[in-house]
Structure 1
């Protein structure tokens, strides 16, 4: 329980940036002595530092989308390859916008008949070359920053699709705040897709963990399959075991 509380506390500090000890006491409903002890343990990791009356996150800032494709690229390709191997013939899948999810397309077998639902320009451009793929696009406004189509006038239009698998991206992933992103228009689509899909896959390289942004589109425990790279903390391994999340780590 203590390890879980420490992880939640650290995730919360990273999500808000700077926070007072009094605010931590109120948010987690614990005494100031408990908060001080927990904070002192986290300080030893070097991911936070003390400021007057509280603490602040010193975790590197989240990388802007336009620069993410150059970050951890080999890991993202491996994650995309593993995700593609989990797609089956006749699947109707959603592929989210993101610099990791778009790597799936080149690894999808041409022998499979697939339907891909997406709002990602990169996925659309890659998928049009494959005759075995039926492509359905969503979103009626183009967002250049993330190369995605956002905003749907009636989100219930997504309900008519029987999505067998949703391959999702996230700007940040944490136990406390789940799968997060920072755009309200993308959030609405992600949230509805995550609720609708029969199986929810999260594709996220190891650098995304322990971070969060303003909007949670799904709690972490709702993920069915987690595909990542590198080593995760024991806290995340325990969480996956507890919630029966299938874990793939691409070396």
Structure 2
């Protein structure tokens, strides 16, 4: 319940732009001490800041940051997306493609006549997949966030819970053995967490720079995933972890999939 309230508070602040603590207390029917604790947690993701008597949203200042991420390591991300598309997606799959600057390249690598269903909250995935005659598109979220080029919303669990997802292709801000797959956006977190709970197979697409780091929110433990697609050989510690937990690894520097 607390995680859901945090998501709702962040969404409310984004919609309002700025809001007083008294208004938040009244709207969410909680005490001022509770609101202060919740706001302190939300502030950690960098999208909200305190002002006199209340808080304001900072989401408009982050659009440039997303565009910068989109061009960073572009060739590496292209190779990771290509490996996922070539080795893991087949006709009749029902897949989820996460929003992110690595997963976005998957669509461009698919054969033009592939017949699949895609569930996504990514605007870029929607735009790319709309050119395919045999791809059925399903959308998660009803509120657009320009800073992440994705759709978010409330009641995500009931929406995603209807679908039997065969394969989920996930992005993460950071990955570690201790904290798993993490991100910093409360509303994106809710989508990712529910997708992981529904998907039969979960694949993580990340470049080497994301490992041994963590951010605010863990949406999945590392042992929950079935495969990692990355650009460099994993360290011995991660190799052992993947071997123990039967996680397949696709290294884009090597042409074949292997279980290490």
Normalising by the smaller structure, the TM-score range is: 0.7 to 0.9
Matches of residues 105-124 of structure 1 in structure 2 within 5 Å?
105-124=107-126
Question: Match of 2:69?
Answer: 68
1:155 CA drift (Å): 1.8
Mapped partners of 2:222, 2:65: distance in 1: 23
1:64 CA drift (Å): 4.1
Q: 2:195 matched to 1:199?
A: no
Matches of residues 84-233 of structure 1 in structure 2 within 5 Å?
84-85=85-86, 86-233=88-235
Q: Secondary structure at the match of 2:214?
A: coil
1:72 CA drift (Å): 1.2
Q: Secondary structure at the match of 1:146?
A: coil
Q: 2:94 matched to 1:81?
A: no
- How many pairs were matched up? 189
Mapped partners of 1:84, 1:154: distance in 2: 26
Mapped partners of 1:211, 1:147: distance in 2: 24
Please, what TM-score do these two structures have when normalized by structure 1? Answer: 0.73
In structure 2, the gaps of 5 or more residues are 1-63, 254-260
Question: Match of 1:38?
Answer: none
In structure 1, the gaps of 5 or more residues are 1-62
Q: Secondary structure at the match of 1:192?
A: helix
Match of 1:239 among 228, 241, 252: 241
Question: Match of 2:33?
Answer: none
On the 8 A contact 2:81/2:103 being kept in 1, the answer is: yes
Mapped partners of 2:156, 2:216: distance in 1: 23
1:160 CA drift (Å): 1.3
Q: Secondary structure at the match of 1:81?
A: helix
Q: Which has the higher contact order (CA 8 A, sep 6+)?
A: 1
1:214 CA drift (Å): 0.4
Kindly report structure 1 stretches of 4+ aligned residues shifted beyond 6 Å.
none
Mapped partners of 1:148, 1:178: distance in 2: 22
Please, what TM-score do these two structures have when normalized by structure 2? Answer: 0.71
